[in-house]
Amino acid sequence: MTNLLSSKAIDPQDRLIVALDFPDAESARALVTELGDAVVFYKIGLELFMTGGYFDLLHWLVAQGKKVFVDLKFFDVPETVRSAVRALAGSGATFATIHGNQAIMEAAVKDKGDLKILAVTVLTSLDRGDLDDLGFACEVDKLVLSRARRALAAGVDGIVSSGLEAPMIRHELGDKLMVVTPGIRPVENKPVDDQKRTVDVAQAFRNGADYIVVGRPIRQAANPRQAAIGIQQTIGEVFSFPRG
């Protein structure tokens, strides 16, 4: 079996990104404080953006020595997206998402500075039936690969992709794009929420992910810190035996 483990020089602890999907910034801060040194990287998305205090939280996270993934999935007139990315570039954020439209991707990379731009391929909440409803006459994996190729050509840094499609991306495009995989469940299971295309932690990395995004399995755990530590231990084990 081909080894698809990430070869990028990333600290194993940084490979876990915890999604702070809360209705208020205070709850997000409370979880970050509880998790302490178990987590370095956090994702802040649209729910928090609409509650106020989004950029205060971003700056607070950076001041705590954390890395921040701004997941707002910019989709607008290309020049507007370019301006938004330029404004975000000085915020201290590490990653930001945009939709995988060609003109948007090309505009987003022009003034990004050190900010890493990730193009969304197909949301992990969508499956074949959803694509039919949206008018895409192709399979999910074909659409993901097409958008990954376009992202590479546009010069973005990486993509957001389900762990199910990551192996195909690695086989087709090698290690040229960073792959961030959401929809992670700590163990293999049948999804019982809005995430339809999921994989577990170890499989996501064996499939070629560079980073994983985990939300509910940590936020809703009886002991969130122990849940995060358990995931970090799994990541450490996977990268301790890269040829296993």
Question: How many CA atoms lie within 13 Å of 104's alpha carbon, on the beta-carbon side?
Answer: 18
Structure tokens belonging to residue 188: 């293999």
Q: Are 152 and 161 in contact, with CB atoms under 8 Å apart? A: no
Q: How far is CA 92 from CA 59, 156, 158, in A?
A: 7, 18, 18
Non-local (6+) Cβ contacts of 148 within 8 A are 121, 159, 161, 169, 172, 173, 177
> What phi, psi does 20 have (nearest 5°)?
-95, 70
Round to whole Å and give the CA distance between 93 and 95: 6
Structure tokens belonging to residue 38: 């178990």
| Catalytic residue selected from 67, 73, 116, 142 | 73
Helix intervals (H) in the chain = 25-35, 46-49, 54-63, 78-88, 102-108, 128-134, 140-154, 166-173, 201-206, 216-219, 224-240
Round to whole Å and give the CA distance between 212 and 165: 14
The answer to whether residue 112 is catalytic is: no
Q: Are 226 and 218 in contact, with CB atoms under 8 Å apart? A: no
- The residues assigned a catalytic role are 73
